[in-house]
Homo-oligomer: A and B are copies of this chain.
Amino acid sequence: MNISKAANAADLPVKTVRYYADIDLVPAPSRSDAGYRSYDEASIRKLVFVRRARLFGFSIDECRELLGLYQDQDRTSAEVKRIATKRLTEIKEKQLELQSLHDELQHLVGTCRGDHRPDCPIIDFLG
């Protein structure tokens, strides 16, 4: 399977698939005589796995780690849970941060008349 078919099957841009091969995250299992990357079903499953993990916000390095666990029949669920829990903690932290950001900015936007006059509590707050 050439790269565009594989990319299509995994719902990823061709460029991204090539990139994942370059960084050895999901290498093409073989090459044609002309040097074309050739993908099989197993590698497409890996590409899909990575796409989903990326959607969850796992970094490339975490994807690499998860992919290793994905392919390892002997890994424990504890290993996987550790990575997912770490990510969950990051998400919670980011949520708190965004919430206070939201509240403050909401307040500022609420108190700014937003008219033709120059006085502006937003600028006053920042300056």
Contacts and interface: CB of A to CB of B under 8 A. Distances in A.
Given A92-B102, A102-B95, A80 B49 contact: no
Interface residues of A, number: 50
Interface in A74-109: 74-78, 80-82, 84-85, 87-88, 91-92, 94-95, 98-99, 101-102, 104-106, 108-109
A9 to B, nearest CB: 15
B112 A88 contact: no
Interface of A: 45, 48-49, 52-53, 56-57, 66, 69-70, 73-78, 80-82, 84-85, 87-88, 91-92, 94-95, 98-99, 101-102, 104-106, 108-109, 112-120, 122-123, 125-127
